[in-house]
Amino acid sequence: MNFELLPNEIVLTLFDYFRSIDLLKIFFGLNTRFNLLLYKQFRRYRLNCLSLSKHIFDDVCQQHLPFLIDRIITLKLSDDSSTTGQIDHFLSYISSLSLLTNLRYLTLLNIHSRETLIKLVNEFSSLSNVTYLNISFRCYENDEIDFQMIIDNIWSLPKLIHCRYTIYIRNLSSFLLPTKVCSTLKNFYLFGQQIQYNKIFQLYECAPSLKHLRVSVTINDNVNENRMSSLLTLTKLRMVTFHSSIFMSLFEYLPNLCHLQITLSCYLITGDRWEHLICNYLPKLKTFKLRMSDDLPVNDNIEERADELINSFRSSFWIKERRWFVRCYTLHKKLHLETLSKQFFYMEDSFPHIWRSTYPNDDHKIFYNSITHISVETFFNQSFPSYIRLHNLDTLHIKFPLNDQFWLIVSSLKKLRRLHIKSFTKEYQYQLQRLLNQASGLQFLSIDQDGASLSFDKFMNKSIHELDFRCLNEVFNEEECINLCQSSLGIQCKILTISVTTRQSILILIQNMKNLQALHIQYNEYTSNSNEIIQ
């Protein structure tokens, strides 16, 4: 069937299945009819610019943005390593956010500029239709930033339903409560800051329709013992805390909670105690996810403590009634317990010394097969049981050389996306290429090299688009930059972090890496010719 013969109603319906950036690239300019449909009739543009190259981003903003700005319903912008300055660039193309009259979903990630943050937040009052907001800001100083104004302006969005608020500020770890009420807000996820226990109830007063909440909770010195109102609408809670006493008092105010996820550090609560809390205070609870850990005293018998803890989760309540199974393991003098999950972020340098589980079919194979991240490069330097296999690695830190045991245990790297290599030298080039051959989905490669310079023309992997060479024990000269540009990895690279010797090296990279979207340079001008000029 000829697509151009379809009536406008069907074409517009089909347009909705395309990503908006692709839609403009494919159909705009084909003929006058498609141009009119795109600019006059199609009304649901979703602009996801999170991984967009600057060239395409500028083209969309310059050519198309003025004609469709009032029909954008989703906008995603970021100032991360691959899209540096994207938010400011977008703001330079429009006079005001108020032009986004139909915007529903707004994502603003990795904001680093105080001025940009304030400029954005000051215009939130004009975004009368936004229902979803995801905003993240990171700064080393909090001088002259009015965070009360920021949270109040967010709370003033008249139709806000979902808010993900991430703020990382040095010397400012406590969340400031809004002074306004947002009656429409149902989901609030707080990252980077803590909220005091008593202020959870004050937060609820500022969002009386709240259903889902994610917070990190601490205890203030002056705990209010007066009875507080129940959080009747709250049905889902994700909480991180160091204080076990919080649960004892908080749960009685959550009669309608259905989903609970707890991360408790530096304390362990037994299964019978959890059972008591759930049965007495959380009658509607359907899902329960738990992670606990604590360092045990040197004189404690850690195996006995592990057995006592795991056995407290073997009652009929856990095994038969709820079927909530837990796994317990020890490393050195630290005891960990968590409910079973499909993914497991392993942050340790060795295998567990003691391992227990309440799930009848659970075993070490399932435990290790659930590991997705290994962050300690010496992890594979230990002895392994012959049955262990790691099939689901997403992120891997590894130290060269790789031994035969590694290839036996890591039998598949198809899911690997990020690879960090330490202590690499030329003699291990074959091992690295063998690894790259198996990692067909690899996107990021970082190399920490010992010895002589690398020959990048030796390596191939079609999926890698980000290279990080900041830890190489060398600074790239002009010839090495040319070799990198001509290599397979260099040709396909979109994001590059590198140290260079001269300004001319920078120019070589920019002119010859045709797919490059972001370039992060480490360059000490005092070690170069101070009179050097890039022509």
**Tokens representing residue 53 in the block:** 């190259």
Sign of CA dihedral 436, 474, 379, 334: negative
Buried b / exposed e along 281-296 (16+ C-beta atoms within 10 A): bbeebeebebbbbbeb
Angle at which helices 114-122 and 147-155 cross, to 10°? 30
Question: Which residues, in sequence order, are CB contacts of 292 under 8 Å at separation 6+?
Answer: 262, 263, 264, 265, 267, 268, 269, 336, 337, 338
- Please tell me the pTM assigned to this model: 0.88
Question: Which residues, in sequence order, are CB contacts of 151 under 8 Å at separation 6+?
Answer: 165, 176, 177, 178
Q: Does 29 reside within a domain? A: yes
**Tokens representing residue 113 in the block:** 């500029």
Question: Which residues, in sequence order, are CB contacts of 502 under 8 Å at separation 6+?
Answer: 477, 478, 528, 529, 532
Sign of CA dihedral 419, 422, 426, 430: negative
| Final residue of a structural domain among 312, 336, 359 | 359
Q: Residue count of the chain, please give it.
A: 535
- Cβ–Cβ under 8 Å, residues 133 and 164: yes
Q: Does 52 reside within a domain? A: yes
Q: Does 313 reside within a domain? A: yes
H/E segment holding residue 22: helix 20-27
Q: Are residues 323 and 384 in the same domain?
A: no
Question: Bridge partners of 19?
Answer: none
The pLDDT of residue 143: 63
What does the longest C-alpha to C-alpha distance in the chain come to? 81
CA distances from 533 to 427, 493, 502, 507, 528 (A): 38, 26, 10, 11, 11
266 conformational bin, left if phi > 0, alpha if psi -120 to 50, beta if neither: left
Q: Are residues 411 and 296 in the same domain?
A: no
User: How far apart, in whole angstroms, are the C-alpha atoms of residue 112 and residue 24?
Assistant: 30
Q: Are residues 127 and 215 in the same domain?
A: yes
| Final residue of a structural domain among 359, 380, 406 | 359
Q: Are residues 382 and 524 in the same domain?
A: yes
The pLDDT of residue 299: 86
The strand ranges marked E within 253-299 are 259-265, 287-295
User: How far apart, in whole angstroms, are the C-alpha atoms of residue 485 and residue 477?
Assistant: 12
Question: Bridge partners of 259?
Answer: 236, 287
Q: Are residues 368 and 489 in the same domain?
A: yes
Q: What letter represents residue 25's amino acid?
A: K
CA distances from 104 to 76, 130, 133 (A): 11, 4, 9
Q: Are residues 436 and 527 in the same domain?
A: yes
Q: Are residues 215 and 253 in the same domain?
A: no
User: How far apart, in whole angstroms, are the C-alpha atoms of residue 331 and residue 45?
Assistant: 51
Q: What's the domain range around 58?
A: 46-234
- Cβ–Cβ under 8 Å, residues 465 and 441: no
Q: What letter represents residue 494's amino acid?
A: K
Q: Are residues 121 and 148 in the same domain?
A: yes
Q: Does 240 reside within a domain? A: no
| Final residue of a structural domain among 311, 334, 359 | 359
How many structural domains comprise the chain? 4
Q: Are residues 74 and 1 in the same domain?
A: no
- Cβ–Cβ under 8 Å, residues 274 and 249: no
Q: What letter represents residue 196's amino acid?
A: Q
**Tokens representing residue 522 in the block:** 């480490």
User: How far apart, in whole angstroms, are the C-alpha atoms of residue 150 and residue 127?
Assistant: 15
Phi, then psi, of 366 in degrees rounded to 5? -65, -40
Q: Which residue, 177, 115, 105, 159, is CA-closest to 135?
A: 105
User: How far apart, in whole angstroms, are the C-alpha atoms of residue 82 and residue 14?
Assistant: 31
Q: Are residues 77 and 193 in the same domain?
A: yes
User: How far apart, in whole angstroms, are the C-alpha atoms of residue 436 and residue 282?
Assistant: 50
Q: Are residues 380 and 528 in the same domain?
A: yes
Q: Does 228 reside within a domain? A: yes
Question: Which residues, in sequence order, are CB contacts of 294 under 8 Å at separation 6+?
Answer: 265, 266, 267, 268, 334, 335
pLDDT tens, residue order, the chain (535 aa): 678 888 999 999 999 999 999 999 999 999 999 999 999 999 999 999 998 888 899 999 999 999 999 999 999 999 988 888 999 999 999 999 999 999 999 999 999 998 999 999 999 999 999 999 999 998 766 667 889 999 999 999 999 999 999 998 877 788 999 999 999 999 999 999 999 998 999 999 999 999 999 999 998 755 555 667 899 999 999 999 988 888 778 999 999 999 999 999 888 999 999 999 999 999 999 999 999 999 988 888 999 999 999 999 999 999 999 999 999 999 888 999 999 876 666 666 667 888 899 998 887 777 777 788 888 888 888 887 778 888 889 999 999 988 888 988 898 899 999 999 988 888 888 899 999 999 999 999 998 876 656 677 778 999 999 999 887 767 898 998 999 999 999 999 999 999 998 999 999 999 999 999 889 998 876 544 443 434 3
Phi, then psi, of 485 in degrees rounded to 5? -60, -35
What tens digit of pLDDT does each residue of 20-40 get? 999 999 999 999 999 999 999
Q: Does 315 reside within a domain? A: yes
Judging by beta carbons within 10 Å of its beta carbon (0-12, 13-18, 19+), is residue 188 exposed, middle or buried?
buried
Judging by beta carbons within 10 Å of its beta carbon (0-12, 13-18, 19+), is residue 9 exposed, middle or buried?
exposed
Q: Does 239 reside within a domain? A: no
Q: Are residues 205 and 56 in the same domain?
A: yes
The CATH code of the domain that includes 71 is 3.80.10
What tens digit of pLDDT does each residue of 189-219 get? 999 999 999 899 999 999 999 999 999 999 8
Q: Does 299 reside within a domain? A: yes
